[in-house]
Amino acid sequence: MKNNLKYQSFLFIALLCLALGFLPACKTASYDSGKAVSLMVDDSLGVDSTVLAMIEPYRLQIDSSMNIVIGVSSKALEKGTPESLLGNFCSDMILETVYSSFGDSLNGLPVMVLLNNGGLRTSLPVGNITISDIFRLMPFDNELVLIELGGAEMKRLLGKIAGMGGMPVAGVRLVLNATNLAKASFGTEAFDPNKHYFLATSDYLSNGGDGLDFLSVNFRYIKTGLLIRNIFIENIKNITAKGKTINPVLDGRIRYE
């Protein structure tokens, strides 16, 4: 159903653009550098009502799917630093998915989730949460990846998070001193630069986004095939199925000493 919804969305947008004249016809174009004119682009040509009538059933179906309520939030979730309600909630959902779906691939290593505030494009409102809300929050088709890092690369990553004043994380607790890392722990264990760790993050960050190009130095890189947006949708549905509301807290996972 998820792939079908994605296809229908693409088809709807393409057909709408065609109806409004945004897509070019299949003609051979020529360019004459000696002749240049200015053309006024407006809506004087009108809209092709035949095409609009053709796409109307798709629009109604997409609108119906996107407006489905999948959960209820007890508070508005905003992003921010050093931690935030939105960042904690989204990171915790990914951590839950990693342990439940990929536990056998972890070899008992500690797991840390990392997202970027720039990738969370909006907040989540108090009250009903719809599929459309999640698409606005995460409009990109970012895939979840798992990366096994050595201690040196993990230390560098933790220092990068400290230098940015915090990022959305889960599975780790950080104490910052100004823009420097003072302490880090994974569960009840202090960070050990001689050990290996798993990082669960987006393919955007794993490929060097936000200056994280050093993540290319790793021992394993696992493509999960899961879109982060879909992870959010399924986890919120599970919360609702248990009769619960969305109610994250600020728990001091990143704090200043």
- Please name every residue paired with 149 in a beta bridge, in sequence order, or none if there are none: 197
Q: Are residues 135 and 90 in the same domain?
A: yes
* Domain presence at residue 40: no
pLDDT tens for 119-150 read 999 999 999 999 999 999 999 999 999 999 99
Q: Are residues 53 and 150 in the same domain?
A: no
What is the distance between the alpha carbons of residues 119 and 238, in angstroms, rounded to a whole number? Answer: 23
- Asked whether residue 235 falls in the same domain as residue 152, the answer is yes
Percent of the chain's residues with pLDDT above 70: 75
Could you tell me the pTM of the whole model? 0.77
Mean pLDDT of 174-180: 95
The reply to whether 42 falls in a domain is no
- Statement to judge: residues 147 and 163 lie in one domain: yes
- Is residue 234 in a domain? yes
Residue 39 belongs to some domain of the structure? no
Compute the radius of gyration of the chain from its Cα atoms.
Answer: 23
- The number of folded domains in the chain is 2
Based on the domain organization, do 102 and 78 belong to the same domain? yes
Provide the residue range defining the domain that includes 125.
70-256
- The answer to whether residue 153 is domain-embedded is yes
Residue 65: the pLDDT is 82
- Structure letter (DSSP) for residue 25: P
Examine the domain organization and report whether 136 and 189 are in the same domain.
yes
